[in-house]
């Protein structure tokens, strides 16, 4: 296990996915990892200054700043907090962290989420017990479209890395089947493997236990990772 020396800043969650998580990185197997969106700079030729030009420049600067930030100044682009994007995953992550309590918490979250989604019940008590109440709205913003689909088993995931952050929170990086496992009205449409990072916080009601708070785009390249699915 390694420790991140990078503090976790406030950052915007990714847009809703189509396994709500497919937009969270949106990587199909073999796809390049997400890259930061470059800021478009003005290339206009300089002109003689005037009061009107100064006002227009101020407005343009404000518009450019708004275009590169989300609500309340949060960034539209994400940055992983434990690794640089695009890294090849450790070969032994799945076995090295199999019994880590953070991994067990994520696996329970994935299983209870699949049951709640299949029952179309976002208030299912067993699922709510696996997540931080403060993160519920953010998680639902990403996962709401999954409710009503039928999951034949837990949301499939292969663990690739686990980290302990300086603020006492935890991170589990993994590769999931973000599309093609659950079936909706469109039927089977092929599978997509997505790199994700689960952010966890300690469970205040049980020492040594963890709760999922948020899901971010992951750092690792999942193109060479096998993700096994299991049925109930």
* Residue 27 binned pLDDT confidence (cut-offs 50, 70, 90): very low
Max alpha carbon distance in the chain (Å)?
72
User: What is the spatial distance between Cα 127 and Cα 169, in angstroms, rounded to a whole number?
Assistant: 20
Task: Specify the higher pLDDT residue, 178 or 66.
Answer: 178
Structural domain boundaries in the chain: 14-32+77-217
Q: Using alpha carbons, list the distances in angstroms from residue 118 to 34, 39, 137, 179.
A: 30, 41, 19, 15
Average pLDDT of every residue of the chain: 72
| Average pLDDT value for residue range 170-195 | 81
Determine the Cα–Cα distance for residues 51 and 67; give it in Å rounded to an integer: 25
Name the region of 35 (left: φ>0; alpha: ψ -120 to 50; beta: rest). Answer: beta
Parallel, antiparallel or unpaired: strands 2-3 and 192-202 = unpaired
Maximum mean pLDDT: which of 23-27, 155-159, 224-228: 155-159
Rounded average pLDDT over 23-33:
39
180, pLDDT greater than 60: yes
pTM: 0.66
> Which backbone phi and psi does 104 adopt, to 5 degrees?
-60, -35
Statement: residue 108 has pLDDT above 80 = yes
95 versus 13: the higher-pLDDT residue is 95
Mean pLDDT to the nearest integer, 86-93: 79
Which long-range contacts (C-beta less than 8 Å, at least 24 apart) are formed by 34-43? 34/78, 34/85, 34/217, 35/85, 36/77, 36/79, 37/68, 37/76, 37/77, 39/64, 39/68, 40/64, 40/67
CATH architecture of 14-32+77-217: Roll (3.10)
**pLDDT at site 119:** 97
Assess whether pLDDT exceeds 90 at residue 86: no
CB 139 within 8 A of CB 163: no
Residue 92: the pLDDT is 81
Q: How far apart (Å, rounded) are the C-alpha atoms in residues 224 and 221?
A: 7
Q: Which residue did the predictor score with more confidence, 121 or 226?
A: 121
CA distances from 135 to 32, 65, 177 (A): 29, 28, 22
């Amino acid at each position: 296990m390694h420790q991140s020396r990078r503090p976790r800043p406030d950052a915007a969650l990714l847009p809703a996915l189509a396994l709500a998580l497919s937009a969270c990185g949106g990587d199909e197997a073999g796809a390049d990892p997400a890259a930061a969106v470059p800021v478009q700079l003005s290339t206009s030729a300089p002109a003689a200054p005037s009061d009107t030009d100064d006002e227009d420049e101020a407005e343009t600067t404000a518009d450019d700043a708004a275009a590169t930030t989300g609500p309340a100044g949060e960034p539209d682009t994400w940055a992983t907090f434990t690794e640089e994007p695009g890294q090849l995953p450790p070969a032994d992550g799945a076995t090295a962290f199999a019994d880590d309590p953070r991994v067990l918490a994520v696996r329970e979250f994935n299983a209870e989420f699949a049951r709640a989604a299949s029952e179309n019940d976002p208030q299912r008590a067993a699922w709510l017990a696996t997540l931080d109440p403060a993160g519920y709205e953010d998680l639902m913003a990403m996962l709401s479209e999954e409710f009503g689909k039928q999951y034949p088993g837990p949301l499939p995931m292969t663990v690739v890395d686990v980290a302990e952050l300086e603020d006492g929170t935890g991170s589990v990086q993994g590769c999931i089947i973000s599309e093609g496992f659950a079936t909706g009205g469109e039927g089977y449409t092929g599978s997509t493997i997505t790199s994700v990072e689960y952010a966890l916080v300690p469970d205040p009601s049980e020492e040594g236990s963890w709760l999922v708070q948020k899901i971010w785009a992951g750092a690792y390249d999942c193109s060479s990772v096998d993700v096994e699915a299991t049925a109930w």
